[in-house]
Amino acid sequence: MVGIPKSNRCDFCRRRKTKCDEVWPTCGNCRKAGKECSGPSKRVKFVNNGRHTRADKEKSNLVREVSTISLSDELLNIKNRTTADGATFSKLRVCARKPPVPAKVPGSSADLLAGQVIMYLRSSEGTGYSLSMFLSTLGYAPPLLEKNEALFDATNLLLSTWLKLCRGKSPEDMFDLASYSRSLRSLQKVLNDPKEQTSSATLAAAIYLQTTEYLFDYTKGVNQVSHSNGIYSLMMARGPPKPGDNFGSQLILDSFAFLFRLLLAGDIDNFFVRPEWQNALTSFFVQFKSKVPVILEMSKLVLYSTMVADATKRFSKIRNICPELLDAQELEGITATIDDIATKFGDLDRCTLDPLLRSKKIYEEPDPESPVGASYTFPSGLMSLYFANTAAFRIVTNRLKQELNAMFGLDDPNLEAECLEWSARIWKICRFSQTLKPLCAVSFNTPICVSYTSAPPEVWSYLIAKLKEIEGYRKQPVSR
């Protein structure tokens, strides 16, 4: 490699790319342009094997390229060339190094679903979208999703349908029949597995499927594939929950609404009155007594409501029989049972609801739209639901008394007055129930319908309007 002088042109001629006459100290072009001539150039160029290179330009380019290289970039060697004297030249290219993208998100499908369950339970608590008002056991489900396929599919169906409601999907697009069919197949599969057929996870899967149908699937009516009988069979096969089994105890409470329908229809025995089942539920509620002192009294509503179902079933068998043909002992037994239930509900009111009203934890506010001119405000949705259900069962108990009196031609006006009083309590809850829309307000449908029997005609339109508002989020079948 030999260094030879470059052209002697001055800087002005070189920039203009014109020939310089090299008459120094000032060349002809600079003299004509009135410029200060820089004189002959002092630069040199290098020739290697007859090829010219611009060392200064290549050096500046290299410095510029190197200065733009970051720590996340890398240099790729594209071409090497070795000269006769042993020098090696490399042609490099700067390539940005992209961060590696994992082929799969860490964690299994069960882990991702478990995270969603926990996140959505926390974010929806205390709102009208809260699932814990219907399913208190959802918090126990995440650790079991990996082991039980039926619980995974049922929870996934419940959560995906609930998300569609939160995102404002239309009722027609809310319930995915493909996911529902997959959940049914998974449930049948675990029911055929001796190790899993009576597990808590399998029972939870059946309850979650029934709850999903009740809340979201109204295209073919309620319970198009009822799981209530299956839930009852699983409970009888498992037996009462053992002490400390909070998951098993709360599964009983989550399924109570569906089992209560079977009790009313006389399709199942009232196992709630058996001592082993009563003791299991009582031991479950005892652990919360320090936080909620009245919890034990409030838990009696479950037992008393099943007693109402038994009394209703017994009365339905003799309702159309002439009084002269009735067994007097049976009739006295039914009358005594109903009177005992009414007394128990009265004691329940005095122990739970009356103290809450006196302490202003439940208080009245003026409400011009209400038929009674006032509405209740509650500390929680569960408290308001307990309040409404207690009033509804007291109305049903009085209706049974009135039916018995009618069979013997008796009339007690105090019974109707009490029904109107408890119905007014339910009407005072209507405004608060609207704050729990769209999902949780559905729980108040039954108490409102029960109070309708005591309402005067001017109140009917108010109650019907409230029911329509509650049911507005889901599609009603044409036949209803």
CB under 8 A, 24+ apart: contacts of 396-401: 396/308, 396/312, 396/450, 397/308, 397/311, 397/338, 397/341, 397/342, 397/345, 398/342, 399/453, 400/308, 400/311, 400/312, 400/315, 400/338, 401/338, 401/339, 401/342
CB 313 within 8 A of CB 263: yes
Per-residue tokens: 142: 């995440």
Per-residue tokens: 449: 């319908």
Per-residue tokens: 248: 């098993």
Instruction: Look at the block and give the residue holding tokens 């002809």.
Output: 28
Beta bridge partners of 309: none
Per-residue tokens: 139: 């918090």
Strands across the sheet containing 2-5: 2-5, 44-48, 51-53
H helices present in 319-412, as ranges:
328-348, 354-358, 381-407
Q: At what angle do helices 149-166 and 109-124 cross, to 10 degrees?
A: 40
CB 260 within 8 A of CB 306: yes
CB 214 within 8 A of CB 231: no
Q: At what angle do helices 246-265 and 200-216 cross, to 10 degrees?
A: 50
Q: How far apart are CA 60 and CA 44, in angstroms?
A: 16
| Residue 240 Cα to chain centre, angstroms | 29
Instruction: Look at the block and give the residue holding tokens 């005594």.
Output: 336
CB 288 within 8 A of CB 377: no
Predicted pLDDT of residue 99? 65
Q: How far apart are CA 11 and CA 9, in angstroms?
A: 6
Q: How far apart are CA 290 and CA 185, in angstroms?
A: 43
Q: At what angle do helices 381-407 and 445-452 cross, to 10 degrees?
A: 30
Q: How far apart are CA 357 and CA 239, in angstroms?
A: 38
Please tell me whether the peptide bond between 25 and the residue prior to it is cis, using omega within 30 degrees of 0. yes
pTM for this prediction? 0.73
Please tell me whether the peptide bond between 275 and the residue prior to it is cis, using omega within 30 degrees of 0. no
CA-to-CA separations, 26 to 8, 13, 17, 23, 394, in angstroms, rounded:
13, 12, 17, 6, 119
**263 burial class (0-12, 13-18, 19+ CB within 10 angstroms)?**
buried
Successive 10-residue mean pLDDT values, the chain, 480 residues: 62 88 87 87 58 48 47 59 68 65 69 92 88 90 93 94 87 82 93 92 94 74 66 93 91 90 86 90 84 76 90 84 74 89 91 87 92 92 91 93 86 92 94 89 91 92 90 54
CB 139 within 8 A of CB 123: no
Per-residue tokens: 364: 């009245």
Predicted pLDDT of residue 59? 46
Q: At what angle do helices 295-318 and 381-407 cross, to 10 degrees?
A: 30
Instruction: Look at the block and give the residue holding tokens 């329509």.
Output: 468
Predicted pLDDT of residue 238? 92
3-class DSSP assignment, residue 153: helix
Q: Which of 57, 84, 58, 60 is nearest to 1 (CA)?
A: 84
**32 burial class (0-12, 13-18, 19+ CB within 10 angstroms)?**
exposed
Q: How far apart are CA 412 and CA 407, in angstroms?
A: 13
Predicted pLDDT of residue 34? 87
Predicted pLDDT of residue 47? 54
Predicted pLDDT of residue 222? 42
Q: Which of 221, 281, 239 is nearest to 256 (CA)?
A: 281
The residues, ordered by sequence, that sit 6+ positions from 447 with a Cβ below 8 Å of its Cβ are 388, 389, 391, 392, 426, 429
Using left for φ > 0, alpha for ψ between -120 and 50, and beta otherwise, residue 268 falls in beta
Predicted pLDDT of residue 89? 67
Q: How far apart are CA 27 and CA 30, in angstroms?
A: 6
